[in-house]
């Protein structure tokens, strides 16, 4: 028989606290949310889904999604632990998206942009036929409407379930970059944690300006595979944003709280001839919200959490 002396302890609701993946400390979930999903103890940047990224980056109600109807096919009839078609359906149901990227047009501090963001919640943001197609179509929109183009990259690499079709997206997205460059359209990428595999080896590192979030994992393959291949110990911090900036791959490392201002300065500096005019930016205290409908019906307001083992596109990414 349990005895209780004095006032009974008030029940604490579930979900108030969370553990940081980097420092391991337990932090108040609301503090993380108020800090744009950044750990207040160590500055670790939690993953964002597409809806969160659009809300944090673009002006309120300015985003108009393009090409949401495009879906992947199953050219190989691929089956591993489950059929590829079943896997796609499962991720469509969990994210509310048809594939691992959302693209469209919007404004940042009043400046018009073509904007795309990859979704790690959909097969680890793997680069497949739909991702490549949407990036190329977004580049065509940017050229036609004279808009600077920004892509937020987060990926486990090429999608193995699509075989050579996925690998060809490296060439297709590189062609999209060439289309922008030939028409004088500025191209900016943001490398978030993680950006690996074929995504890193193509459009993510071909931009005019390459930005990275702090401490993001950036590389082609995992460190263990590299060490076994070259039979050498890798330097401390290898494949992190700061190391990449020091060695010239990344132009700047920008904390999430400063990303919008950084975009605003770059867009003013890289103004496109014939672009639509800038509109008055929203008031700083105006609540960020998406326009043009809901992005990802299953998207949540907190850091992305999953009980499943992450899906990767390239074999090596388990070691990243």
Please report the pLDDT score of residue 27 as a whole number. Answer: 86
Chunked in runs of 10, what are the mean pLDDT values of the chain (320 residues)? Answer: 51 75 83 80 84 96 97 95 97 97 98 98 97 98 98 96 97 98 98 96 98 95 88 90 96 97 97 92 58 50 40 42
Please report the pLDDT score of residue 283 as a whole number. Answer: 74
Please report the pLDDT score of residue 125 as a whole number. Answer: 97
Q: Pairing relation of β-strands 64-66 and 26-28?
A: unpaired
Question: What whole-number distance in Å separates Cα of residue 197 and Cα of residue 225?
Answer: 13
Tell whether omega for the bond before 229 is within 30 degrees of 0, i.e. cis.
Answer: no
Q: Which of 290, 308, 316, 242 is nearest to 49 (CA)?
A: 290
């Amino acid at each position: 028989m349990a005895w209780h002396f004095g006032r009974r302890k008030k029940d604490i609701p579930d979900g108030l606290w969370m553990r940081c993946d980097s420092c391991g400390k337990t932090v108040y979930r609301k503090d993380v949310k108020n800090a744009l999903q950044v750990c207040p103890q160590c500055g670790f940047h939690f993953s964002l889904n597409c809806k969160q990224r659009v809300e944090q980056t673009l002006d309120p109600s300015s985003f108009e999604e393009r090409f949401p109807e495009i879906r992947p096919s199953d050219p190989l009839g691929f089956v591993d632990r489950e059929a590829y078609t079943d896997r796609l359906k499962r991720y469509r149901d969990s994210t509310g998206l048809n594939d691992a990227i959302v693209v469209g047009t919007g404004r940042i501090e009043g400046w018009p942009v073509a904007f795309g963001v990859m979704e790690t919640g959909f097969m680890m943001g793997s680069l497949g036929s739909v991702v490549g197609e949407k990036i190329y179509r977004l580049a065509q929109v940017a050229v036609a409407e004279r808009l600077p183009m920004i892509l937020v990259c987060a990926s486990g690499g090429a999608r193995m379930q699509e075989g050579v079709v996925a690998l060809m997206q490296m060439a297709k997205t590189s062609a999209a970059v060439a289309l922008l460059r030939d028409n004088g359209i500025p191209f900016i990428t943001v490398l978030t944690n993680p950006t690996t595999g074929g995504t890193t080896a193509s459009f993510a590192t071909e931009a005019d300006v390459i930005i990275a979030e702090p401490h993001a994992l950036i590389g082609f393959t995992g460190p263990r595979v590299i060490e076994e291949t070259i039979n050498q110990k890798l330097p401390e911090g290898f494949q992190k944003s700061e190391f990449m900036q020091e060695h010239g791959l990344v132009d700047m490392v920008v904390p999430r709280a400063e990303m919008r201002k950084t975009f605003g300065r770059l867009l003013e500096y890289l103004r496109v001839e014939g672009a639509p005019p800038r509109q008055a930016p929203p008031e700083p205290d105006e609540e960020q919200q998406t326009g043009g409908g809901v992005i990802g019906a299953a998207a949540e307001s907190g850091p992305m959490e999953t009980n499943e083992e992450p899906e990767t596109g390239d074999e090596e990414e388990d070691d990243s």
